[in-house]
Structure 1
Amino acid sequence: MRLRGRRGSRNIENRRRQGGGRGGKAAPIGGVGLILVLAIGYSAEEERLTEFPLQILATTEQVWAQIFPRQVGKNFTPPTSVLNADVTQSPCGGASGATGPFYCSADEKAYLKTDFFVTLSRQLEAKGDFPATYVIAHEVPHHVQNQLRILGQVHLAHQQSSQTDANALTERLELQADCHSGVWARSLEELLEPSDIEEALNVARMIGDDQLQKRAGRVPQPLTHGISKQRASWFAKGFSRQTISTSATHLARVGCNV
């Protein structure tokens, strides 16, 4: 992406030099899926990738601040993003390399482990700018869903559903976030390099439930984020439609209806 000279987000808690523990009982939303991350430590490569996420976060703030009044009829309040290098506390539990990035609705913060972006490039064959870009662009829409009360509706439905149905609802929630990240990308089309969208689709395919389980060497697990084909497809639909869904995933009829 063409981000040289662009400001970074100021809605940040930098915990990269701090230790931490485990927090409360709320459920984290929107980790990219089942990922086993190697501990690669604090490095110059991670240092370089810290500034870039702040610039991406700033673009999400810009885009959603424009979309909300136009499509939702209300103002958008951006999330705070927590940058951590090790385990840190959240009301949704410990944020670590094993969990990957996630959104915690209890404190309305996105937890971004910075060296995860290095790992994503190295281990998942996700090259270019879009490994970090895609993950951040996916987490912020979970805050969008929270502001639209979609997360609350889905959490309530979880309590009234079987485990199979609850997993299906979670999957649709994640695919809607993929679609909304596509809407974000289209809104920044003037900043995109020619290869950016293909890189984004490649990342989506690499972090599908089927690919991650295959890499982890595990027997098939319940699908909670969508398989590779679905994740790439819904990002592409969001990029094409440019319309968000403003209701719960299982009720939506327009926009990113999954």
Structure 2
Amino acid sequence: MEKDISNRKEQANFFAQKGGKLRNVAATMREKIEELEEDKVDIRREDKTIPAFTIGNQDISHPAVRFESVFIVKDHKRIGKKFELILRKKMHLLITGPNGIGKSTLLEALYNGTEKGMKIENGTIIGYYRQDFSTLDFDASAYDVLKEVALDATDQDIRGAAARFLITGDLLAAKVSSLSEGQKGLLSFARFTLQKPGLLILDEPTNHINFRHLPVIAKALDKYEGAMILVSHMPEFVKQIRIDEELDLGKIG
């Protein structure tokens, strides 16, 4: 990339000196060079690996989730299935099943409280990692998104949490919508460390995130002592995390 940028700069300077319409060409090239240099900074930042971290948990004595039934999706219709489980603190539930069976839809329904057969207990703080990051306010700054869940944290706490996930300086002040998908993923985990949820709902948390970070994230989830529900298509990632219960939507009766 360095060589490409250098070559483009030489060409832009050459065209600028020729004058006329070529000056417009040079201006366009310089805009592209600026974009490449910004990308170069992002690449250097993302080449780093996040340090080890922990996700604290809300200390709750009541169950986090009560399941009496779940559903699968077939031909765009929900089909109810009996499934009884009380998910408590320190319990990790893995939900598996073939693509299209409704794993993400099930998590969304649980979070939104739209299904009678499964309920998150009142008072439970929920950390929800969605594939589309729609739990984040795209119009807010990264800093404000962190501050929103860090009620007792100081400015230093928030900036420290962000820095551990490579969200620093201009990124912290930028709108969430301007962040890369990988940065949104890391921002989500920074939120969890400040939020200290009693329940983590994780829908494909490896999506978009640099592979260098995944062992660090897996270790943090393995040691998480709240209740957790995980959906992941990466067996090698799941193997690194303690799983206490599994719900296979493809085999449920």
Place the TM-score, normalised by the shorter chain, in its bin.
under 0.3
TM-score (norm 2): 0.26
More strand by share: 2
TM-score by length of 1: 0.26
Q: Computing the radius of gyration over CA atoms, which structure comes out larger, 1 or 2?
A: 2
